[in-house]
Amino acid sequence: MKKIRSVSDLEKWREDILARQKQYKAIVAVCGGTGCQAYGCQKIKQAFQKELKKKKLQDTVLLKYTGCPGFCERGPLVTVYPREIFYQRVKVEDIPLIVSETIQGGRVVEHILFEDPDAHRKIINSKDIPFYKAQMRLLLSNNDLIDPTRIEDYVAIGGYQSLAKALFEMEPDEIIGEIKESGLKGRGGAGYPTGKKWENCRRAPGDIKYVICNCDEGDPGAFMDRCLLEGNPHSILEGMLIGAYAIGANEGFIYVRHEYPIAHKHAEIAITQARKAGFLGKNILGSGFNFEVEIAKGGGAFVCGESTALIASIEGMVGEPRSKQIHTVTQGLWGRPTNLNNVETWANVPLIIKQGSKWFSSIGTEKSKGTKIFSLVGKVKNTGLVEVPMGITLKEIIFDIGGGPQNGKKIKAVQTGGPSGGCIPASLFNLPVDFDSLTEAGSMMGSGGMIVMDEGSCMVDVAKYFVHFLKGESCGKCLSCREGLKRMGEILDGITEGKGNGESIALLEELAVVVADTSLCGLGKTAPNPVLSALRYFRSEFEDHIIKKRCPAAVCAPLIQYSILEEQCTGCGACKKICPAQAIEGEKKLRHRIQTALCSKCGSCKDICKANAVMVQ
């Protein structure tokens, strides 16, 4: 690869790549994201390789891994271009069929197409799938097209052109103005205006400045940052380059947690390739601007997603937040002005520079612009990554994109913003999703986790789960967070075990307010949100646990009882066989009975009973 020294070099390189791509008459894109790797997409790719070789197609058909298209639930995913035929849940046995039918014959293989669950109609193109239809995939759509380990793929779709534009057509202040006008807000959770942050960092005195990309995503059930860095690492690099040029920084760090090995690997490959191509290093594209990026690997502490803790971690110290009075934009990494943004924020930057702030600010609501990626998980039919314009309602996300509840149950609430966010009840599902309205509802945008819960979820149990998660992830510096969360966990444990008393809720609330008020960093300040929002919208569930000593959702084991209905029991003996505690007695064809004293309340009998005779209350 020769170094790109000017804008015309870049344009020429792009034309070369596009010309070379024309020799392929078909492209087979296998999703290589973490989700599909878990489903075994390596085997799928190997099988394709073998099959294409067998049919002597290896020179005309391009086989490649791509980033994650987001529909992880349906993996492994394979897309065949140029017709963009979208195959899901592909098995190794299907590959000869895909090669002979689709690639050679031009026909579709019906049984691995996505089927519309309502209309029972097969869908060929991913764009027509309800999951994708309501989305607006500005950032994620490139994931489907490019091989994250090949810089050529990114250049082919117009990559690094925003950098060229920023370096040669814009002044640093102009770039900052553009970002400010676009209304882009930090996607890490707090929603601080990105342009303002850049401006503060640019104006901060100091000759050495840093930019940092925060990919220390640790929320349970959230994986959008991983997916972006894994699927399109060059877009992050390009964003950082533009940001660094605007701020006046010459060094950057990508902070990745070590639980993201693929993201780490792809970022490393991207940096090496970008350096070889001349997008990193000295005199980038002949502009005189120098920039270097390093990867800092985190140990996987949730608290290191917090800016000052992350900076401490890069410095080689214990990941622990420090006082916030002086912002990181004036005194950050090694005491120098530091601009830290989330992966998704950086990924938005090249788009804004390329298409302009007017275009970007036309998307979204008055105060929240652009799109946001959510990881939609929980009790909905379609789970995965969804990118939607700001201002879309929760209802649209959960019912149109998510496909509504599983097994005909009723959806009760959605938890947004991860452990720092809160639960929003179904009655508020018409709420537009933007920074302000979510905060008003007692939750937050957070980094974009969205966990859907149905009537089978106990809100006390959910609150308990998040408190225990945060208790374990708190760094332990502040007394309020360390001891307060421990005590909140104890109280919630007590409530779910039926040991709650009249004081429990009041004490919990009192404690929650103080923990939020006195903790130093965002972790502690937002930690009580799940509890406070659950108390706000589902107080009756807490009261049921405490006063009636029962769990309405039948989740909290000490408060529920299994029994077999006499009229319904057919005496098949299935429950008796599966019971791990040998708590079920009864002769064949006669009524069975559960011995409450032995029952471990695992629920296997209820799951296996065909006659629906097992009752839980």
Compare residues 303 and 347 and give the one whose CB is closer to other proteins.
Answer: 303
* Residues 338-367 interacting with other proteins (rule: CB under 8 A): none
Map residues 494-513 to x or -, x wherever contact with other proteins holds by CB under 8 A. ---------x---x--xx-x
Closest CB 512 distance from other proteins, rounded Å: 10
* Nearest residue to 214 via CA among 178, 267, 275: 267
Number of residues binding to other proteins, judged by CB under 8 A:
36
Closest CB 90 distance from other proteins, rounded Å: 42
Closest CB 34 distance from other proteins, rounded Å: 25
Closest CB 330 distance from other proteins, rounded Å: 13
- Tell whether residue 330 is a contact of other proteins (CB under 8 A): no
Closest CB 73 distance from other proteins, rounded Å: 32
Instruction: Candidates 68-76, 185-193, 318-326, 334-342: pick the segment binding other proteins (CB under 8 A).
Output: 318-326
Closest CB 472 distance from other proteins, rounded Å: 5
- Please count the CA atoms within 13 angstroms of the CA of 546 that sit on its side-chain side: 19
Compare residues 282 and 324 and give the one whose CB is closer to other proteins.
Answer: 324
Map residues 467-486 to x or -, x wherever contact with other proteins holds by CB under 8 A. ----xxxxxxxxxx-xxxxx
DSSP labels, 358-389: HHHHTSB-SSSBSEEEEEEEESBSS-EEEEEE
Q: Which of 520, 560, 599, 613 binds other proteins (CB under 8 A)?
A: 520
Count of other CB atoms within 10 angstroms of residue 441 = 20
Closest CB 502 distance from other proteins, rounded Å: 12
Closest CB 470 distance from other proteins, rounded Å: 8
3-state SS, residue 598: coil
Cβ proximity of 267 and 233 under 8 Å:
yes
Alpha-carbon distance of 378 to 322, in angstroms, equals: 35
Closest CB 159 distance from other proteins, rounded Å: 39
Strand duo 338-342 + 210-215: pairing: parallel
Compare residues 354 and 486 and give the one whose CB is closer to other proteins.
Answer: 486
Alpha-carbon distance of 318 to 35, in angstroms, equals: 31
- Please count the CA atoms within 13 angstroms of the CA of 85 that sit on its side-chain side: 21
- Tell whether residue 320 is a contact of other proteins (CB under 8 A): yes
Alpha-carbon distance of 118 to 135, in angstroms, equals: 19
Backbone φ/ψ region at 278: left (φ over 0), alpha (ψ -120 to 50), beta: left
Kind plus residue range of the DSSP H or E element containing 320: none
Angle at 367 between CA 201 and CA 136, to 5 degrees: 100
Q: Going along 75-173, which residue ranges are E strands?
A: 78-81, 85-87, 114-115, 122-123
Compare residues 115 and 497 and give the one whose CB is closer to other proteins.
Answer: 497
- DSSP label at 398? I
Compare residues 512 and 613 and give the one whose CB is closer to other proteins.
Answer: 512
Compare residues 84 and 259 and give the one whose CB is closer to other proteins.
Answer: 259
Residue located via tokens 């209802």? 395
Compare residues 490 and 607 and give the one whose CB is closer to other proteins.
Answer: 490
Q: Which of 517, 566, 585, 587 binds other proteins (CB under 8 A)?
A: 517
- Tokens for 432, please give them: 């537009």
Closest CB 423 distance from other proteins, rounded Å: 23
Q: Which of 141, 518, 563, 570 binds other proteins (CB under 8 A)?
A: 518
Instruction: Kindly list the distances between the CA atom of residue 112 and the CA atoms of 76, 101, 215, 453, in Å, as whole numbers in the listed order.
Output: 11, 13, 34, 29
Compare residues 276 and 468 and give the one whose CB is closer to other proteins.
Answer: 468
Beta bridge partners of 212: 253, 340
Q: Which of 519, 526, 529, 533 binds other proteins (CB under 8 A)?
A: 519
Closest CB 479 distance from other proteins, rounded Å: 5
Compare residues 301 and 377 and give the one whose CB is closer to other proteins.
Answer: 301
Peptide bond into 530 cis (omega under 30): no
Closest CB 440 distance from other proteins, rounded Å: 17
Compare residues 227 and 546 and give the one whose CB is closer to other proteins.
Answer: 546
Map residues 271-310 to x or -, x wherever contact with other proteins holds by CB under 8 A. ------------------------------x-x-------
Q: Which of 325, 408, 430, 610 binds other proteins (CB under 8 A)?
A: 325
- Tell whether residue 318 is a contact of other proteins (CB under 8 A): yes
Compare residues 38 and 317 and give the one whose CB is closer to other proteins.
Answer: 317
Specify the amino acid at residue 570: T
* Nearest residue to 111 via CA among 138, 135, 93, 133: 93
- Tell whether residue 514 is a contact of other proteins (CB under 8 A): yes
Compare residues 52 and 527 and give the one whose CB is closer to other proteins.
Answer: 527
Cβ proximity of 229 and 260 under 8 Å:
yes
Kind plus residue range of the DSSP H or E element containing 385: strand 384-389
Label residue 118 exposed, middle or buried (CB < 10 Å: 0-12, 13-18, 19+): exposed
Map residues 137-166 to x or -, x wherever contact with other proteins holds by CB under 8 A. ------------------------------
Closest CB 465 distance from other proteins, rounded Å: 15
Label residue 590 exposed, middle or buried (CB < 10 Å: 0-12, 13-18, 19+): exposed
Q: Which of 22, 119, 316, 323 binds other proteins (CB under 8 A)?
A: 323
Tell me the backbone φ, ψ of residue 388, rounded to 5 degrees: -130, 155
Compare residues 294 and 490 and give the one whose CB is closer to other proteins.
Answer: 490
Beta bridge partners of 297: 256
- Tell whether residue 490 is a contact of other proteins (CB under 8 A): yes
- Please count the CA atoms within 13 angstroms of the CA of 282 that sit on its side-chain side: 0
Cβ proximity of 469 and 461 under 8 Å:
no
Alpha-carbon distance of 157 to 161, in angstroms, equals: 10
- Tell whether residue 487 is a contact of other proteins (CB under 8 A): yes
Closest CB 152 distance from other proteins, rounded Å: 43
Compare residues 134 and 507 and give the one whose CB is closer to other proteins.
Answer: 507
List CB contacts of 320: < 8 A, sequence separation 6 or more.
Answer: 303, 309, 312, 475, 477
Residues of this chain that bind other proteins (CB under 8 A): 301, 303, 318, 320, 322-326, 471-480, 482-487, 490, 503, 507, 510-511, 513-514, 517-520
